[in-house]
Amino acid sequence: MTTPFSWLAERVTLTPRALRWGTTAALIVSILIIVTGGVVRVTGSGLGCPTWPTCDGTSISTTPELGIHGFIEFANRALTGVLILAVGWAIVAARLQKPRVRSMTRLAWSQFWLVVANAIAGGVTVRTDLNPWVVAMHFIMAMALLTTTTLTWHRAHRGQSAAVDFPRGIGPLAWVLVAVTAVLIIVGTLVTGTGPHAGDSADVPRMPFVWEQVTIVHGVLGTLALVLGVLLLVRVWRIPGASLARRRAATFVVVVLLQAGLGLAQALLGLPEWMVVLHLLGSALVWVGALRVLLDVHPRLWAATPAGTYTMGSHEPAVHA
């Protein structure tokens, strides 16, 4: 059956460069929307638009009566539109590649459906008056979107990676690093859901944990992620041709160190708003860093499989296992 995309693909071809730009835009905006979500939370603007999908029950945009909180919340919602444009760019660019790589198109489409799911989750958070469990789910779904944009970005830039045969043990270590980082981020949502930044100036329920205790657990997991990153860096340091993996591991270690310092500082200083927002940015960068370490240690993950395909961003044929 002929679809609009297949009809267009018969007549138009986009370059790998267009795909790289599209996936880069989607990655950047998926990080940015996590940051703006943090701004909404620390400014108490979570119910700045008290209804959903409209802002005040009659208008989809904010009104002067809703004040600065309405503007901040609406700006975060409007950024979803920018994200849809970026994801749409990636979808079209992936579909119009020659030859077509179906797995790339599927990855790009997964971003779109996660954007839709996140928008609905955002509406549920408003309709449940910022229930902390729903807010945590909304953040985790945003990180799931970041996962797909990172994977798609990596696929589009695979021409910059060199296949390396890593010794046995490094691959599983990278998987453990990603798993620990994922648990670290999930526990971070519990820290936030227990802490004072409820997302609204009203009395919003918090999670039933002792903030100091869940913060300690979060810190222990962060330390474990740092140790695993250092261990992985040591293991790949002397492997011939693994300079890219070394840079990825070193970058991960540096970002985790900065994130740990920021987390400690904000805990000691009473969780100042600007530090909380930076910490959210750091959590996104830590997750991207862990995924990139995994993808460079496993260079054949999500590799193009159709015969005769070319590595994205390269003029040389892709090497298939």
Q: How large is the average pLDDT for residues 213-218? A: 95
Tell me, what's the pLDDT at 218?
96
Helix 243-268 vs helix 211-236: angle between axes, to the nearest 10 degrees?
160
What is the pLDDT, as a whole number, of residue 100? 81
Q: What is the average pLDDT across 35-56?
A: 92
Written in H, E and C, the secondary structure of 136-187 is HHHHHHHHHHHHHHHHHHHHHCHHHCCCCCCCCCHHHHHHHHHHHHHHHHHH
CB atoms within 10 A of CB 27: 23
**What average pLDDT score do residues 288-296 get?**
93
Q: Which residue from 69, 26, 32, 24 is spatially nearest to 277, judged by alpha carbons?
A: 32
- Is pLDDT at 224 greater than 80 in this prediction? yes
pLDDT at 99 over 90: no
d(CA 146, CA 289): 11
Q: What is the pTM of this model?
A: 0.88
**For residues 249-273, average pLDDT:** 93
pLDDT, residue 213, reads: 95
Give the pLDDT of residue 320. 31
Least confident window among 194-198, 205-209, 244-248, 308-312: 308-312
What 3-state class would DSSP assign to 63? coil
Rg for the chain, CA atoms, rounded? 21
Query: Does the structure show a pLDDT above 80 at 303?
Result: no
Predicted pLDDT at 319: 31
**C-alpha distances in angstroms, 74 versus 6, 67, 204, 218?**
36, 11, 20, 31
Q: How far apart are CA 147 and CA 8, in angstroms?
A: 29
pLDDT at residue number 13: 83
pLDDT of residue 163: 61
pLDDT at 244: 85
Calpha distance 34→31 (Å, rounded): 5
Cβ–Cβ under 8 Å, residues 131 and 47: no
pLDDT at residue number 318: 37
The per-residue pLDDT for 153 is 93
Query: What pLDDT was estimated at residue 304?
Result: 53
Which percentage of the chain shows pLDDT scores above 70? Answer: 91
**The pLDDT of residue 130:** 93
Asked whether the predicted pLDDT for residue 321 surpasses 50, the reply is no
Compute the average pLDDT of residues 83-95.
93
- Measured CA to CA, the distance from residue 269 to residue 253 in angstroms comes to 24
The answer to whether the CB of 153 falls within 8 A of the CB of 26 is yes
Under a CB-based contact definition with an 8 Å cutoff, are residues 204 and 130 in contact?
yes
The residue among 304 and 99 whose pLDDT is bigger is 99
Q: Name the percent of the chain lying above pLDDT 90.
A: 66
- CA torsion sign for 308, 311, 317, 321 is negative
**Which H, E and C letters describe 50-62, residue by residue?**
CCCCCCCCCCCCC
Q: Per-residue pLDDT averaged across 284-310, rounded? A: 75
State whether residue 110 is helix, strand or coil: helix
Looking at residues 43-68, what average pLDDT do you find?
A: 90
Least confident of 26-35, 105-114, 295-304: 295-304
